[in-house]
Amino acid sequence: MKQKIYFKTFGCRTNQFDTQVMISKLSNHTLSTTEESADVVVINSCTVTNSADASVRNYISTIERKNPNVKVILAGCGAHSKGEQLFAQNRVFGVMGHSEKENIDLILKKTERFYQIGDLEHIDSTIVEEFVGKSRAFIKIQEGCDFRCSYCIIPYVRGNARSHKESDILSQIERLATNGFGEFILTGTNVGSYGKDTGSSIAQLLEKMSQIRGVRRIRIGSLEPIQIDDHFKSLLNEPWMAKHLHIALQHTEDTMLKKMNRRNRFATDFALFEEIASCGYALGTDFIVGHPGENESVWQEAIRRIEQLPLTHIHAFTYSKRDNTPSATMTPQIKGDIAKSRHKMLSDLVGLKNLHFREKHNTNLEVLLEQERAGIHHGYDQYYQKITVQSDEDLSGNWVFITQAEAQKEGNYAVL
Ligand code: SF4
């Protein structure tokens, strides 16, 4: 008998991809749209912070109320950190690790409780793509991370870095490009480590991708500063490189970078950012505010350095404790309201820098338009700046060239 399966995904884009891998392998079951009508609920869980664990536990309680007879299967990162405990407490029917995703069809047939955690060296044979409209596609090119940042649990639940097969990635891109996709965004847990295990590199992959007919623009989800080598730099002026890079710094003050066990330091980060910005790039970064040890003088120095950096985008995160990581026991902890106000200060400052960048880079924009409603289109230019384009024509999925846009506070605007 066909069972009805409901998938619940927590966490990041990688988890969303993983759910897609499972769905693509379902041949003997159907999808359910609600927990109530499902025979099985598969929770693709996140365990990045203590509160992520709490959300998964609360969700299990909600299902127990809504549909007490349903079988609950715990998958995802939380299966590796909390699976054993939840299984022992009889809160879930089964636990499956990351490596088991492609066996989902068989797993769903199990009639006895199971704990099938698998291994953390596996790499899926399925490369998942996610589409935005008809012309942008995200492609996952690797899994896992070899870094050991003090605050992060990811390497322990996703394993070390390993790359998808180059030939699989390229043939997938070729197929999508033939079907009209022009922009590709490379993603993964630690994208810049692509190829380290196979004698290749992200730069080599980019070069090969660029030779595929139809590939017009390539973006990279995120890179670590030390992954930007001379080969990569030699590609910066290529026309198919999006003129925006996201380079994860996490902090700008060296004592904090050491505490965080990061491999980057501010002096080299600054030189790198200046060099790349001088090639006309918009630059984004991740920053964690309120990590233990970020006292007032450290913070003042950090924000002064943010001011110096040629930054246009920021993903600011407020530090949140994750048990079983070195940071969880570090002191002094930073109070929530202080971290919150630092987060705001940082976002406001980079927001202003973004506006200044857009005021200077508001001509000759190459924009891929994604959605249209009542003549209003949205898209991103080569600098990863959001633009609203007004036009009577339906231009969704089209590349348009904007000779001049107006840099407004919330984003760019143009009429075509
Ligand atoms: S680079 Fe650091 S923060 Fe990012 S996944 Fe690896 S260990 Fe975690």
Best mutation site among 152, 162, 324 for ligand 1, i.e. most ligand atoms within 8 A of its Cβ? 152
Residue 62 lies in a domain: yes
Residue 121 lies in a domain: no
Q: Mean pLDDT over all residues of the chain?
A: 94
Task: Determine the Cα–Cα distance for residues 75 and 284; give it in Å rounded to an integer.
Answer: 32
**Number of structural domains, the chain?**
4
User: Does residue 61 sit in the same domain as residue 23?
Assistant: yes
User: Does residue 301 sit in the same domain as residue 313?
Assistant: yes
Residue 221 lies in a domain: yes
Tens of pLDDT, residues 169-224: 999 999 999 988 899 999 999 999 999 999 999 999 999 999 999 999 999 999 99
CB 382 within 8 A of CB 244: yes
User: Does residue 324 sit in the same domain as residue 272?
Assistant: yes
User: Does residue 318 sit in the same domain as residue 388?
Assistant: no
pTM of this prediction exceeds 0.75: yes
CB 60 within 8 A of CB 68: no
Where residue 76 sits, what CATH number does that domain have? 3.40.50.12160
User: Does residue 89 sit in the same domain as residue 182?
Assistant: no
Q: Which residues line ligand 1 (CB under 6 A)?
A: 145, 147-149, 152, 154-155, 189-190
User: Does residue 328 sit in the same domain as residue 255?
Assistant: yes
Per-residue burial over 385-403, b = 16 or more CB atoms within 10 Å of its CB, e = otherwise? bebbbebeeebbbbebebe
SS3 content of the chain, % helix, strand, coil (to 5): 35, 25, 40
Tens of pLDDT, residues 58-103: 999 999 999 999 999 999 999 999 999 999 999 999 999 999 999 9
CB 121 within 8 A of CB 92: no
Domain span at residue 39 reads 4-116
Residue 378 lies in a domain: yes
Tens of pLDDT, residues 249-304: 999 999 999 999 999 999 999 999 999 999 999 999 999 999 999 999 999 999 99
Distance 374 CA to ligand 1 centre (A): 42
Best mutation site among 151, 158, 190, 226 for ligand 1, i.e. most ligand atoms within 8 A of its Cβ? 190
Tens of pLDDT, residues 372-399: 788 899 999 999 999 999 999 989 888 9
Q: How many CB atoms lie within 10 A of CB 404?
A: 10
Distance 223 CA to ligand 1 centre (A): 11
CB 95 within 8 A of CB 116: yes
Residue 277 lies in a domain: yes
Find residue 4's DSSP bridge partners: 30
Atom of ligand 1 nearest to the CA of 224: 1
Where would I find the H helices in 108-238?
154-158, 166-178, 202-210, 230-233
Residue 254 lies in a domain: yes
